[in-house]
Amino acid sequence: MHEALEDALDRLAVLCGLSVPDRGPRDLRLAVRRLASRIPPVRENAAGTLVSRPHQAKPILQTTARFSHNKRQAVAACIALYDIDKPTATLLMQQLAVNHQLHEAAYRTLMRTAIQHVVGGDHYIHEAREALKWLERKPENFKAISLFTHALDVLMLLNETADVDLCRAAMFVRYVGGENLSLIRSEATGESGVRTEHICQVRLAAGIWLSRRCRPNIALSVMLEALQHPNPAVQLTAIYGLRHLNDDRAISPLTALALQSSCAVRKDAEALAHRLANRPPDEFMLLRSSHVNDISSKNLMCLHIPADHHVLSGGSDGYSDHKRPSPIREATLKK
């Protein structure tokens, strides 16, 4: 019906003296529209029809992938085109991957399948490495920053395991002296509302990928290494990476950083240390973790009590009927 209406309108346009584009055979246009069907046999039959007539199907698939308002249909057209013209399909898929709307939940599974089939994750690893080399020479290059962050967005969409060497290099990428820490905070929390191309986005993207797609021990090691960096901008990025990692083994290093009076990010470190120390336990974590250094050995087997929980009777650690102080406060009291 849809294709018949298009043909009728085209004939009317010709009668009115208007130029009409060549839309291709009606049955192939119907097959392209059915590529977006949610019924697998319908999609498979449509793809088979198109592949069997590659010369006629190719221009229709290219037009659909470039201009279709139906994003699901555009992505499906790229997948079908890949069996006919791999280079063109790869280029079109890379262009579609730039559209952040296609990374949303409604399209995530389709996009993951399409990018893995047509482009592959290795392309984006290579793209991120090249962008990083570019940034080592010129850290203010907006195009390189955009390429790197886009590559990592796609790699996280694909659920690719974090490349530790790449992330470490990005965390310590050449920095510009006197970076605005307030800008980094607003970018990390999303409070700015406006996306700006800044070198901090490279570090933040690497930290997020590392915290979400890497073994916790390895991710923690890289984060703590960045936490000891002399540049406050790198330290602040590491703090936000540790926030995503949500591992309370970072409490002691954060506490040590917060106690340095000359540290520009001491308040950020203190806030995260307090948050990690007082997070409520989940159903698998009924005991205090044994690697927190500021808990005495006799109290290691005591039940963990969140910060906002009032103790009804005196506890063995001396805190009763009030909230537990932050790790920074406890460390100061011990001194």
Mean pLDDT of 99-115: 90
**This prediction's pTM:** 0.74
CA gap 113, 72 in Å, rounded: 12
With 50 as the cut, is the pLDDT of residue 319 above it?
A: no
The model's confidence at residue 157, banded by pLDDT at 50, 70 and 90, is very high
Give the CA distances from residue 310 to residues 26, 40, 48, 55, 321, in Å, rounded to whole numbers and listed in that order.
Answer: 73, 57, 67, 74, 5
With 90 as the cut, is the pLDDT of residue 316 above it?
A: no
CA gap 271, 263 in Å, rounded: 14
| Chain centre to alpha carbon of residue 246 | 16
- Condensed to tens digits (0 to 9), the pLDDT of residues 27-76 reads 888 888 889 888 889 999 999 999 999 999 999 999 999 988 889 999 99
**Structure tokens that stand for 309 in this block:** 């929980």
Residue 287, SS3 per DSSP? strand
Model pLDDT, residue 155: 95
Q: Are 273 and 239 in contact (CB under 8 A)?
A: no
CA gap 258, 214 in Å, rounded: 27
Counting Cβ atoms within 10 Å, is residue 14 exposed (0-12), middle (13-18) or buried (19+)? exposed
